[in-house]
Chain A
Amino acid sequence: MKNRQKKNFSAEHARFLKRRRNKLIVVWCLRLGLLALILGIWETVAATGLSDPFLTSSPSRICNTIASLYRDGTLFYHIGTTLWETLVGFAIAVVLGYGIALALWWSETLRRVLEPYIVVLNALPKIALGPLIIIWFGTGSKAIVFMTVLVGLIVAIMHMLSAFIATDKNKLLLLRSMGAGKLQTLAKLVVPSSLPAFISMLKVNVGMAWIGSIMGEYIVSRAGLGYLIVYGGQVFKLDLVMTATVILCILAAGMYFLVALLEKFLVKNPES
């Protein structure tokens, strides 16, 4: 509960707030300006023939490609396919990773037994498992979701486990002196104190999920943005490649933004 009542600020404080707001406005203008500049140069270079738009594409050609994908009804089909695979893979990796990290926190023996396996799995480039995944899961969405889970899972486990283990020793002692059992320690201290780590794990895993799903679509797919990129590359339709990439950027940013929003909602009282 915060004290949000309006106070009477001094003139100096009002000026301070105004300066801060102005600075924020400047930063945003520059951000958008930079984007406009890049798009502008890209478009001009392509339009004036300085570069071959067949190779570099251009913002207007990307817009046209999006429009034509939309007209033949495949735009949302491809976006939906990739988004679905990414979100499902992300969710499974996060939930499973959190659960496994909890189990490893709970049992030191289990942790010590599994440690070398986790280290090896973490170092292994998951794409090496591509052929296996195709054989095991076929060429559909299942294989891509599996790849996404694989890429995110180990990261989720390691991230959460190190946060669980880093729980403040003195607070653990305090709970022990109150007679708390392991389950109570977990519920009252370990889980709530690792909330910031959970959020940062989500942020990292947003990136991991996109890597997983696009990589999966590179290996096996009949639809999705990764499929469009591979297909576009094979038939030399670079407009398609660029279009899919731009859409990916927007989707990834949107997903990151959602996690940041969740952070604002969950972490109400950061230690200041």
Chain B
Amino acid sequence: MKKEMLRFSDVTLIYHTVRGETTAIEHLSFDVSEGEFVAIIGPSGCGKTTLLSLAAGLIKPSDGNVERGGSCGYMLQKDELFPWRTIEKNIFLPLEIKGQNDAAHRERARSLAAKYGLGDFLESYPSQLSGGMRQRAALIRTLATDPEILLLDEPFSALDYQTRLNVTEDVAGIIRSEKKTAVLITHDISEAISLADRVFVLTKRPARVAFSHEMEFDGVVNPLKRREMHQFSGWFEVLWRELNL
């Protein structure tokens, strides 16, 4: 029995604005176990990002419970590297925030950067890096504090297609080899299939989990290899249909 890293039990979230209230999420339940890679897809505007904010504990549910089995690292659509900081200083940012800016933690973050090919760029500024490298730096920054759960909010959608495939490959490899639990929000069906162990399909607002699928690819986890396998198009068809219900 694997440890539960993230559990949503019967979560409801209501947004309040001056004009009225909107139920963004209603009776949403799911759980993610340790080391699992879950992708969540859903129609646009169904509250996917809200779901991640709930998971990260940035907002409290109106009803129900969100339990976390460890600390969270958040990765956004754009890299959001601070342009006035070098890559190294950007990677140290979460250490500074969490008060872990000591030699041991810094050394760990630095070696992580070196391990994943950023060693030569530590003194560079973000504007000197390509989009793919910047996103990789953003991932290393997220990993710097060694979070147990990674929350990925469409982290590839701002990249052009070719870079996107490469960075997906890259990031997936890093997450798998660091054995992190990950929750990926995306609107890209093929991205979800190629990356995840399990895919949740959400309904239109208010969001609930409509379907949940184990992605079976004979143990293959590499995104590009998965795209070449015969199961891929089958899954695509299933998810496409379910998204449009």
> Could you tell me which A residues sit within 8 Å of B by CB distance?
1, 168, 170-171, 173-180, 184, 188-189, 192-193, 195, 269, 271-272
Contacts and interface: CB of A to CB of B under 8 A. Distances in A.
Contact of A180 (B72, B86, B97): B97
A178 B98 contact: yes
26 contacts: A1-B86, A1-B123, A170-B77, A170-B78, A170-B80, A171-B80, A173-B58, A173-B74, A173-B76, A174-B80, A175-B97, A177-B58, A177-B73, A178-B74, A178-B94, A178-B98, A179-B97, A180-B97, A188-B82, A188-B93, A188-B96, A193-B82, A195-B84, A269-B127, A271-B83, A271-B127
A175 B82 CA distance: 11
Given A177-B58, A177-B74, A171 B127 contact: no
Given A177-B74, A188-B93, A171 B56 contact: no
Nearest to A176: B58
B235 interface: no
Contacts of A178: 74, 93-94, 97-98, 145
A272 B96 CA distance: 27
Nearest to A180: B97
Contacts of B74: 173-174, 177-178
Interface string B161-189: 00000000000000000000000000000
A176 B97 CA distance: 10
Interface of B: 56, 58, 72-74, 76-78, 80, 82-84, 86, 93-94, 96-98, 123, 125, 127, 145, 151
Interface of B is mostly: loop
A156 to B, nearest CB: 22
Contacts of A170: 76-78, 80
A245 B179 CA distance: 72
A186 to B, nearest CB: 12
Given A178-B93, A178-B97, A189 B56 contact: no
A188 B123 CA distance: 19
A177 B72 CA distance: 8
| Secondary structure type dominating chain A contacts | helix
A179 B84 contact: no
B80 A272 contact: no
Nearest to B49: A173
Among A1, A178, A189, max chain B CB count under 10 A is at: A178
Contacts of A193: 82, 84
A188 B86 CA distance: 13
Contacts of A177: 56, 58, 72-74, 151
Return the 8 tightest CB-CB contacts between A and B, nearest first: A177-B74, A178-B97, A178-B94, A180-B97, A271-B83, A174-B80, A269-B125, A171-B80
